Structure 1
């Protein structure tokens, strides 16, 4: 687990440290050299890299052929890359990976929260799902524009006094957080997700 000092130093300042810690706990890897390769619902077994050079060689081999996630935040390695020469060793640097990963997750969280219209528990959980699959509401979420500031959180007292308004903040349907292939039984991206929201300020 990444220590709090590293999180404070490296994480995107737009996310509270407690949210960053929960995000890394839910999706991250303890090894900054960790490389995960998937095609659809299948995990490709690779030899764990022992050096940054080994990790980058592995990334270059699979980017463009499979979904490659790298480092502490399991950052999508091919994002925004048009040529393999653009892949940088920052991917396997702990601090740089946390900085890039938390900035990108912050955008994903804002996209999902905007869909719900308010900061609710489901938004955080669906943002984690979207990070794992790469998709939200049928779209490749990492390429979507950042909607900007989060909608205001609904106060518990307001929700109690005005049930209609509270219900309006929660759409009647749930968003599509993956492609059809992602939702197949046994999908490793979706299996065994357990998210503890305690302490991040999402739920009171």
Structure 2
């Protein structure tokens, strides 16, 4: 589990620590050097980096032709990057990755919450969180490219504690929590880097904008 002090120091304040913990458990990694590479729906086997330099080399090698997720939050490595040379070691720094990743996830969560009509019903809130997780993993929600969509900053995020990996719906600390993600949305596997990456992907037809 990611250290509570790190979450307190580095995570976006819009997200309660319990939500950050569950976000990392369900969509992130415990290792800040984790680099996940996907080509379409297929995971590309890559050597496990043991140093930040190795991790950055791996990211640079794959980011212009594959989906690359990095670090504790599995942040989309190519987001907002025009040239590979612009990629920064912050991606594999635990605090910086947590700060960037939770800020971006908070935006995604707000987009999903707004689509649901800013619900307060504790029976609905777990589904909102589930869909926010899936939107983070796919880069899309209801046809919206969530990483580059405007941030509805006026939306206030609910304080309910969502379910952790493997839990079924139950009550935790008085809050309703979710179980498995909605399988209908889980099937919407779309390239998350396409949502915000600006590296030239025209060589790969499947990733063309």
- The alignment's TM-score, normalised by the length of structure 2, stands at 0.73
Q: Report the counterpart of residue 121 of structure 1 in structure 2.
A: 126
Cα distance in 2 for partners of 1:90, 1:21 equals 20
Q: Report the counterpart of residue 111 of structure 1 in structure 2.
A: 111
Q: Given the alignment, which residue of 146, 154, 177 partners 1:149?
A: 154
User: What SS does structure 1 have at the residue aligned with 2:85?
Assistant: helix
Within 5 Å, which residues of 2 pair with 1:50-199?
50-119=50-119, 120-150=125-155, 177=185, 182=189
Query: Compared with structure 1, are the counterparts of its residues 136 and 81 closer, same or farther at alpha carbon in structure 2 (3 Å cutoff)?
Result: same
Cα distance in 1 for partners of 2:27, 2:104 equals 13
Q: Does the CA-based 8 Å contact 1:113-1:123 persist in structure 2?
A: yes
Within 5 Å, which residues of 2 pair with 1:7-46?
7-46=7-46
CA RMSD, aligned part only?
A: 1.9
Cα distance in 1 for partners of 2:152, 2:51 equals 38
Q: Does the CA-based 8 Å contact 1:117-1:151 persist in structure 2?
A: no
User: What SS does structure 1 have at the residue aligned with 2:147?
Assistant: helix
- Number of matched pairs: 161
Q: Does the CA-based 8 Å contact 2:109-2:157 persist in structure 1?
A: no
- 1:56-94 per-residue CA deviation (whole Å, 9 max, x = no partner) reads 000001112011000000000000000011100000000
Query: Compared with structure 1, are the counterparts of its residues 11 and 45 closer, same or farther at alpha carbon in structure 2 (3 Å cutoff)?
Result: same
Q: Does the CA-based 8 Å contact 2:36-2:68 persist in structure 1?
A: yes
Gaps of 5+ in 1: 154-173, 184-204
Gaps of 5+ in 2: 120-124, 159-181, 191-209
Query: Compared with structure 1, are the counterparts of its residues 13 and 77 closer, same or farther at alpha carbon in structure 2 (3 Å cutoff)?
Result: same
Cα distance in 2 for partners of 1:58, 1:151 equals 37
Q: Does the CA-based 8 Å contact 1:33-1:55 persist in structure 2?
A: yes
Pairwise CA distance, 1:112: 0.2
